[in-house]
Amino acid sequence: MPEKMIPGKHLWFFDYFPGGDVGLFMRISNMVHSQQTRYQRIDIFDNPTLGRVFALDGITMTTDADEFMYHEMLAHVPMFSHPNPVSVLIVGGGDGGTLREVLRHPGVKRAVLCEIDEQVVEAARQYLKTSESFDDKRAEFAYENGADYVKRFKNEFDVIIIDSTDPTAGEGGHLFTQEFYKSCFDALREDGILTVQAENALYDFGWTKITHRRISSVFPIVKAYQGFVPTYPSGYWLYIFASKNIDPVENFRYDDAKNMSQKLKYYNEELHKACFVLPNFIKNELKGK
Ligand code: AAT
């Protein structure tokens, strides 16, 4: 057994993937924060390789080492597909990573973060670097179940991004229903775009398929895309893009994406097109519209 593995000498975090037969473990070199909120258990700790790790109910949400991979792909694909996103809603994402990416877009005048658990935002503000944009004047915070919040809006947002916990964890299930996608459709303006994090094709493909089917029953254009997030189950993550009329590959703002990609670590204008090219086992199951 390697020195690092000696039981009793170190503290370990075990993240069980859906199904419970496979997972990921990380050494805790420094425990930063633990708290049980009304909704979930928050843990924040340091790992020598991954940096600061943020987990909810024992499931990894972000690590310093790879959060950019997830947040850049979740935010910039819809943001550069829209001709001029001004008003944006993020549901979930209380760590602030998606908000940070959205606010990189100079045309954005208003970015609302609707997070069910205020304690996540508070913990992020205190302990996570992803919260760096919380004080941006364009950022607004709503502490509410996103499924209730979106219902109150009609024709309001250009882009809605769902940065939720898994459908099987905590309060995430509310954000994977057909009714919720319909509310998002109604809350979006004419050129509106919805993007959701849509699980993985190895351990939880059932949920990707359900999500794709439900969104397809509401939006005319629906396309899944892929990216890597090494600390999420399988490391190979799926997202779903949905819109009222915009095709993300034909219509996206190539030159603007190219300009911004110089500041980014993952997303770029070529990847924007390439991420929609899917392997057969996924493509065959998710027939795009
Ligand atoms: N940015 C990457 C981290 C997340 S956090 C997901 C957030 O969604 C959590 O803070 C959680 O409190 C919030 N949330 C869960 N349900 C709701 C809801 N119904 N309304 C509003 N916010 C909600 C995503 C990680 C993805 C994990 C992949 N395995």
Report the 3 state secondary structure along the chain.
CCHHHCECCEEEEEEECCCCCCEEEEEECEEEEEEECCCCEEEEEEECCCEEEEEECCEEEEECCCHHHHHHHHHHHHHHHCCCCCEEEEEECCCCHHHHHHCCCCCCCEEEEECCCHHHHHHHHHHCHHHHHCCCCCEEEECCCHHHHHHCCCCCEEEEEEECCCCCCCCHHHHHCHHHHHHHHHHEEEEEEEEEEEEECCCCHHHHHHHHHHHHCCCCEEEEEEEECCCCCCCEEEEEEEECCCCCCCCCCHHHHHHHHCCCCCCCHHHHHHCCCCCHHHHCCCCCC
What CATH code would you report for 7-62? 2.30.140.10
Pocket flag, ligand 1, residue 120 (CB < 6 Å)? yes
67-283: CATH topology is Rossmann fold (3.40.50)
**How far, in Å, from the CA of 167 to the mean position of ligand 1?**
10
Q: What is the pLDDT of residue 7?
A: 65
β-bridge partners, 90: 113, 161
Q: What is the pTM of this model?
A: 0.96
Place of tokens 């998606």: 98
Pocket flag, ligand 1, residue 78 (CB < 6 Å)? no
Pocket flag, ligand 1, residue 18 (CB < 6 Å)? no
The ipTM is: 0.98
Q: What is the DSSP string of 181-232?
A: HHHHHHHEEEEEEEEEEEEETTT-HHHHHHHHHHHHTT-SEEEEEEEE-TTS
Give pLDDT tens digits along the chain (289 positions).
Answer: 666 666 667 899 999 998 899 999 999 999 999 999 999 999 999 999 999 999 999 999 999 999 999 999 999 999 999 999 999 999 999 999 999 999 999 999 999 999 999 999 999 999 999 999 999 999 999 999 999 999 999 999 999 999 999 887 778 888 999 999 999 999 999 999 999 999 999 998 999 999 999 999 999 999 999 999 999 999 999 999 999 999 999 999 999 999 999 999 999 999 999 999 999 999 999 975 5
Backbone φ and ψ for 179, nearest 5 degrees, come out as -60, -40
**How far, in Å, from the CA of 92 to the mean position of ligand 1?**
4
pLDDT in tens, 237-286: 999 999 999 999 999 999 999 999 999 999 999 999 999 999 999 999 99
Which residue ranges make up each domain of the chain?
7-62, 67-283
Nearest CA to ligand 1 atom 7: 92
Nearest CA to ligand 1 atom 14: 92
Query: Which tokens belong to 52?
Result: 């600061």
Nearest CA-CA partner of 111 in 81, 83, 79: 79
- CB burial of 137-148 (b: ≥16 within 10 Å; e: otherwise) equals ebbeeeeebbbe
Q: What is the pLDDT of residue 252?
A: 97
Intrachain domains 7-62 and 67-283 with the same fold: no
DSSP 17: P
Query: Which tokens belong to 26?
Result: 């990380």
DSSP 93: -
Terminal Cα-to-Cα distance of the chain (whole angstroms)? 51
Pocket flag, ligand 1, residue 234 (CB < 6 Å)? no
> How many angstroms separate the CA atoms of 199 and 211, rounded?
9
**How far, in Å, from the CA of 62 to the mean position of ligand 1?**
11
